[in-house]
Amino acid sequence: MTSSKTLQDLVADYIAEKRALGYKYDKPGLTLNRFAKLAEQKDYTQPQLCRELVEMWCEKTAYESESNHQCRIGIVRGLAQYMDRLGFPAYIYMKKGTVSHERSFKPYIFSNTELAKIFSATDEVLNTKSYPFRSEQIKLILKTLYSTGMRSSELRNLKKDDVDLVYGILHIYGTKFNKERFIPLDEVLLQQLRTYSQQMCCYEVWKDAQYFFVNSFGRQHKDVYHPYREVLNLAGISHGGRGKGPRIHDFRHTFAVHCLRNWVRAGKDLTVALPYLSSYMGHTGIRSSQYYLRLTAELYPDIVETLDSVYGWMIPEVSPYDFD
């Protein structure tokens, strides 16, 4: 490929692309600039990544930790994948071992069949004299979590004033990362929330309540874990115990993966869509959203080829499942 660009130009372009995608990319940028300087010192200025240069860079130094070593390798591997995507010759260094940062759990992605079983099972939840709206409420809580990708804490903190039933907007604030945001609702969920609000007006506990979803005393729910477990049991979906899942937070993970699945099948440009997903979900950056690409590729074989060939450069090679 004939080009007037130098290797150093391509490094700068790669850093610029990362930042355009939402990364600060400060430390990796410094690492790549060090790499570009080394390449220039060794007279590697052509727009290509030679094996000799890459292997020289990837040698472990005497006092370097294994995690830093793997990080340094991964950064240049990302550059190589970027150059290869643009048609420039680039040697992609193969992994020879990584340091695992995986947590004790992996996100559980509900299938469409499981979701249908869950929502159907809420009809079997028993109401009581003091809690006559329990069944309908837990159904709507779970549907809202799945349909919006909200954190359960954000849902529990929803106040009546935060729910705009006219324009279909949820106002989310006081979140995990103090990122205020607005969530637009689809028409089906909006109508269900409107119906719920109208029905709740019949109950005394609702009239003076501050929160949108209240318990039998008209107070904010402390958690929705126990009714969630009850519904899972009614749906016949096994649970490994608290902390092992499927957790209620997995509705959030399922929302993200299903969004990506649908976008890929619809031919959407994920380089444009992913930052929107990140903002919609209240992520601090798009890194967490990118990890969902790996999960999506693992779960849906029919879109693996598209994800790998078109968006492989965006998918993190090591997936720590550090989702928020």
Same domain? For 204 and 274 the reply is: no
Q: Where are the alpha helices (DSSP H) in the chain?
A: 7-20, 26-41, 51-58, 66-86, 112-121, 134-148, 152-156, 187-200, 204-207, 225-235, 250-265, 270-281, 287-299, 304-311
Instruction: Report if residue 240 sits inside a domain.
Output: no
The two three-digit tokens of residue 128, written as one number: 């009581």
CA dist 5 to 1, 8, 46, 88, Å? 11, 8, 8, 10
User: What domain range includes position 290?
Assistant: 250-314
Same domain? For 299 and 220 the reply is: no
Per-residue model confidence as pLDDT tens digits over 173-202: 866 656 788 999 999 999 999 999 999 999
Do residues 233 and 126 lie in contact, with contact meaning Cβ atoms separated by under 8 Å?
Answer: no
Chain Cα centroid distance, residue 165: 27
Same domain? For 229 and 119 the reply is: yes
pTM, rounded to two decimals: 0.64
- The pLDDT score that the predictor gives to residue 292 is 80
Strands, sheet with 169-172, edge to edge from the N-terminal-most edge strand: 163-164, 169-172, 181-184
Band of the pLDDT at 320, cuts 50, 70, 90?
A: very low
Region 85-102 average pLDDT: 69
Q: What are phi and psi of 220, to 5 degrees?
A: -65, 140
Instruction: Report if residue 102 sits inside a domain.
Output: no
User: CA-based angle 122:127:130, to the nearest 5?
Assistant: 145
Instruction: Report if residue 104 sits inside a domain.
Output: no
- The pLDDT score that the predictor gives to residue 324 is 59
Instruction: Report if residue 106 sits inside a domain.
Output: no
Same domain? For 22 and 118 the reply is: no
Per-residue model confidence as pLDDT tens digits over 104-127: 457 889 999 999 999 999 999 999
Per-residue model confidence as pLDDT tens digits over 33-75: 999 999 999 999 999 999 999 999 998 887 778 888 888 999 9
CA dist 312 to 58, 67, 74, 276, 316, Å? 22, 23, 14, 19, 8
Same domain? For 166 and 137 the reply is: yes
Q: Which helix (H) or strand (E) holds 171?
A: strand 169-172
Domain final residue pick, 235, 261, 292: 235
Residue 159's domain is classified under what CATH number?
1.10.443.10
Same domain? For 162 and 216 the reply is: yes
Do residues 149 and 171 lie in contact, with contact meaning Cβ atoms separated by under 8 Å?
Answer: no
Does position 296 have pLDDT exceeding 90, yes or no?
no
Instruction: Report if residue 245 sits inside a domain.
Output: no
Instruction: Report if residue 94 sits inside a domain.
Output: no
Per-residue model confidence as pLDDT tens digits over 225-271: 899 999 999 999 998 776 667 999 999 999 999 998 898 888 888 77
Quick one: 87 exposed, middle or buried, by C-beta within 10 A (0-12, 13-18, 19+)? exposed
Same domain? For 257 and 284 the reply is: yes
What Rg value do the Cα atoms of the chain yield, rounded?
24
Alpha-carbon span 223 to 220, nearest angstrom: 9
Same domain? For 135 and 228 the reply is: yes
Instruction: Report if residue 199 sits inside a domain.
Output: yes
Domain final residue pick, 206, 235, 264: 235
Same domain? For 195 and 263 the reply is: no
Which residues make beta-bridge pairs with 214?
Answer: 220
Does position 156 have pLDDT exceeding 90, yes or no?
yes
Structural domain count, the chain = 3
Same domain? For 120 and 208 the reply is: yes
Instruction: Report if residue 226 sits inside a domain.
Output: yes
